[in-house]
Amino acid sequence: MPNVANRNFSPRLSAGFDALFCTLGLGLGPADLRGARLARAVHLDALPDAALRQMGIARDDIPRIVFRDLFDI
Task: Please report, for the chain, the start and end positions of each structural domain, with discontinuous segments joined by +.
Answer: 34-73
- CA-nearest of 23, 58, 32 to 44 is 58
Global pTM reads 0.59
Q: Measured between alpha carbons, how far is residue 29 from residues 17, 22, 33, 72, 73 in Å?
A: 6, 9, 7, 18, 17
% of the chain beyond a pLDDT of 90: 22
pLDDT of residue 9: 72
The beta-strand segments (E) located in 2-72 are none
**In angstroms, rounded to a whole number, what is the distance separating the alpha carbons of residues 55 and 47?**
11
Flag whether pLDDT at 1 surpasses 60. no
| Region for residue 32 given its phi and psi (left: phi exceeds 0; alpha: psi -120 to 50; beta: otherwise) | alpha
* Per-residue pLDDT tens digits for 22-48: 776 655 555 555 567 888 888 999 999
